[in-house]
Structure formats: C-alpha cells, structure tokens
Amino acid sequence: MPTLPKQGQISKAELFEVMLDTGKTVVLHCDPRVEETTVPPPLTKVFPLRLSYARSFNFPLFKTSKEGVEALFPSSEGDEWYYTNIPWPAVFALSFDESGQGYVFSGTLPPEYEIIREGDGFRVIDSEKDGKGEGKARKASCSQSPSPSPHLFLISTSEEEDAQ
C-alpha cells in the first residue's frame, strides 16, 4: 500500500493518484461554481459537490492529468453516461469514502468554510454562524464530526500550483 502524506505540500493530482492506488474509493470534494467545471446541469447547483472515484468502477472514460479529472458517470437509471470535468482549482478536499480520512487544501477552500485549529487536530466549519455565534460543522467536509479530527490532514497549496 502506498504511503500517504500526513501534512505538507503535494499536488492534488499526485495525491489523488496515490489515494486511488490504495484500491479504495476516493471522494473528490469540489466547488462546481469554479470556471471550466463541467457536470450535469442538476449538479451545478450542488455545493459542495462530492464525486466518488475508484479504479474498480471501470468508467468508460476516467482520466487524471495536471489540469484535473475527467470521467463519464452513469445516470442513476444506468441508461445514460454524463461527462464530468473537474479542474484542480475546483477541488478543495480529497477523502476516503470508507474511513473518512481526508486531505483539505487550504489554498482552494471556498469562502463558505474556515479551518479551526484545536490542539493537535482541526476541523472545517461553515463560515456562516449559528445562532450562538459559532460556525456550523459542515458535514460535507472530510470529517462527519464537528470535533477536531485526527483523520483530517491539511495540505497547503499556492494559487500558482492550482493554476498549473
């Protein structure tokens, strides 16, 4: 099994490939509002958008590059295929579907989120405040828990890397 980074810098494309090489399902957390993102019309309004990928899914088209991820996803009825193109600047987190272990990219975190450090861990919260003046835990982040998660790792990214 490949060694996964715990923190630091790694490109999204490299990390995605390493995660796929584990044979597990990888969830790509993205913002469909980012330019050049192509998803079926009903998904353009879904935020955050979570798409699951695994080599074992055998999509007719599944390609990763320095630019992003292209794939054909089956419709829920299974009778049509939908083209998706997710550029890396739209991706703000990658996680494993089964364990929830994930990686958050600080450089492309949407403004609706903020990272709160607590002790040895951190959590990603919705920037919108609840009635008590605290940020709401965003379930769509890598962690299902509003408490600090030992399964979330921060990957710092620069805007220059995302433009590549």
| pLDDT tens figures, 84-104 | 999 999 999 998 987 777 888
- pLDDT per residue as tens digits for the range 6-64: 556 678 999 999 999 999 999 999 999 999 999 998 899 898 899 999 999 989 999 99
Instruction: Give 154's pLDDT tier (boundaries 50, 70, 90).
Output: low
Cα–Cα distance, 98 to 100 (Å, whole number): 6
Q: How much of the chain, in percent, has pLDDT values that exceed 90?
A: 40
Superfamily of domain 12-163: SspB-like (2.30.30.220)
Question: What is the predicted pLDDT for the residue at 135?
Answer: 43
Calculate the alpha carbon distances from 17 to 25, 72, 151 in Å. 12, 18, 19
Report for 53-57, 138-142, 160-164: range of highest mean pLDDT: 53-57
Instruction: Give the domain ranges of the chain.
Output: 12-163
Calculate the alpha carbon distances from 2 to 15, 95, 102, 136 in Å. 11, 15, 15, 34
Cα–Cα distance, 149 to 100 (Å, whole number): 10
Higher-confidence residue of 95 and 136: namely 95
